[in-house]
């Protein structure tokens, strides 16, 4: 399995698959492009299957959506990849209620790959509608043993309701896409509400093993993104027993049941603030959202469960003995 670098999304997913693999006949190695292409070129022929976790690892994007191969030596007959996001191809135009079609050049390139996994129902529909037939739906999972509740939700209104967001605040483009400055940080002005930014880049960056403690310091997780594939942060917060307030973006649409484990919001500060005011006043509801979030993860989105679809995708592409 080829990932961009360890400690990021592709690496976490790959390790989730390996850790929860239930097929003793399958053996995996995870390699990082951060270590260079040379080890992949030297060793790829030894493997029965090569899985580049995301298509961006094998096609380098040029202007006007032309694509060239980055790893031309890979044998197309034993090569698979995945679609994990909108932002890698949509010129940042996707919004919760509208999504452009993928560029024809990318669709043509992906049609040449043996098979492709897609991590959310929305992304699956977009690329299926664009004409791709070599698609498999394999939703993301989360390590429910690492990410678990360790602190109860605060139900005392004498203590502020704590909202959390995980991501970097250093990039203006990232800030816009995540809605941090426009829709999340201003919620600090809502009475009796505190907003925590969990992790980040540079000195604020923490290891994946440290993140469960940070999720457990909040009462609710908020996502105000323009688009998502299937947010690892949302899954991790849910697994830690935190309810989710999110825009209606890919992955979150699959995970969230309104008034059960979360609520959907528009990218509108007044509407978001109104929802947060309601939740601050009803801490019993906040607690119930968190409990149901954990239940939903254990029933459907732990890696123990989700890995089965990923393994079926991988097994179906192995050479016939």
Note whether 31 and 3 are within 8 A (CB): yes
Query: Given a cut of 50, is residue 301 above it in pLDDT?
Result: yes
- Written as six digits, the tokens of 283 are 């801490």
Pick the CATH number of 161-301 from 3.40.50.2000, 3.40.50.720, 3.40.50.11720, 1.20.120.720: 3.40.50.2000
Average pLDDT of the chain to the nearest whole number = 92
Task: Identify the band that residue 203 occupies on the pLDDT scale cut at 50, 70 and 90.
Answer: very low
- Written as six digits, the tokens of 178 are 């995540």
Predicted local distance difference test score (pLDDT) of residue 65? 52
Distance (Å, whole) CA 226 – CA 6: 26
Q: Which residue has the tokens 């008034």?
A: 259
Per-residue pLDDT of 224-238, as tens digits, reads 999 999 999 999 999
Predicted local distance difference test score (pLDDT) of residue 264? 98
Query: Given a cut of 80, is residue 201 above it in pLDDT?
Result: no
Query: Given a cut of 70, is residue 46 above it in pLDDT?
Result: yes
Of residues 171 and 266, more confidence is placed in 266
Predicted local distance difference test score (pLDDT) of residue 59? 80
Give Cβ neighbours of residue 321 (< 8 Å, ≥ 6 apart).
none
Per-residue pLDDT of 242-290, as tens digits, reads 999 999 999 999 999 999 999 999 999 999 999 999 999 999 999 999 9
Q: Per the confidence metrics, is the pTM higher than 0.85?
A: yes
Same fold, 2-141+303-316 and 161-301: yes
Predicted local distance difference test score (pLDDT) of residue 58? 84
Predicted local distance difference test score (pLDDT) of residue 131? 96
pLDDT, average across residues 92-119: 94
Ranking 25-39, 266-280, 293-307 by mean pLDDT, the lowest is 25-39
Q: CB-hemisphere CA count at 13 Å for 66?
A: 4
Note whether 164 and 222 are within 8 A (CB): yes
Supply angle C-alpha 240, 241, 243, rounded to 5.
Answer: 120
Domains of the chain, by residue range, sit at 2-141+303-316, 161-301
DSSP string, 130-169: TT--SEEE----B-TTTS---SPPP--TTS-EEEEEES-S
Q: Which fold has domain 2-141+303-316?
A: Rossmann fold (3.40.50)
């Amino acid at each position: 399995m080829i990932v961009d670098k360890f400690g990021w999304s592709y690496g976490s997913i790959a390790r989730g698959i390996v850790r929860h693999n239930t097929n003793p006949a399958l053996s995996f190695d995870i390699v990082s492009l951060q270590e260079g292409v040379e080890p992949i070129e030297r060793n790829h022929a030894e493997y029965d299957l090569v899985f580049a976790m995301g298509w961006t690892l094998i096609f380098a994007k040029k202007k006007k959506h032309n694509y060239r191969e980055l790893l031309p030596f890979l044998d197309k007959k034993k090569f698979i990849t995945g679609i994990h996001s909108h932002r890698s191809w949509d010129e940042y135009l996707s919004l919760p209620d509208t999504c452009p079609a993928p560029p024809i050049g990318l669709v043509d390139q992906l049609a040449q790959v043996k098979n492709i996994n897609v991590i959310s129902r929305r992304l699956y529909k977009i690329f299926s509608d664009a004409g791709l037939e070599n698609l498999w739906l394999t939703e993301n999972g989360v390590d429910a043993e690492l990410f678990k509740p360790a602190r109860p939700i605060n139900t005392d209104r004498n203590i502020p309701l704590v909202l959390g967001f995980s991501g970097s605040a250093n990039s203006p483009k990232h800030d816009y896409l995540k809605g941090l400055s426009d829709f999340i940080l201003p919620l600090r002005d809502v009475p009796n509400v505190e907003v925590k930014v969990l992790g980040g880049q540079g000195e604020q960056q923490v290891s994946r093993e440290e993140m469960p403690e940070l999720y457990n310091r909040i009462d609710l997780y908020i996502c105000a993104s323009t688009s998502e594939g299937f947010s690892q942060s949302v899954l991790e917060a849910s697994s830690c027993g935190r309810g989710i307030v999110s825009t209606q973006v890919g992955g979150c649409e699959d995970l969230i049941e309104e008034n059960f484990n979360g609520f959907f919001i528009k990218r509108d500060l007044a509407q978001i603030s109104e929802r947060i005011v309601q939740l601050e006043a009803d801490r019993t509801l906040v607690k119930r959202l968190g409990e149901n979030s954990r239940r939903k993860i254990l029933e459907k989105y732990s890696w123990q469960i989700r890995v089965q679809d990923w393994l079926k995708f991988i097994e179906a592409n192995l050479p016939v003995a």
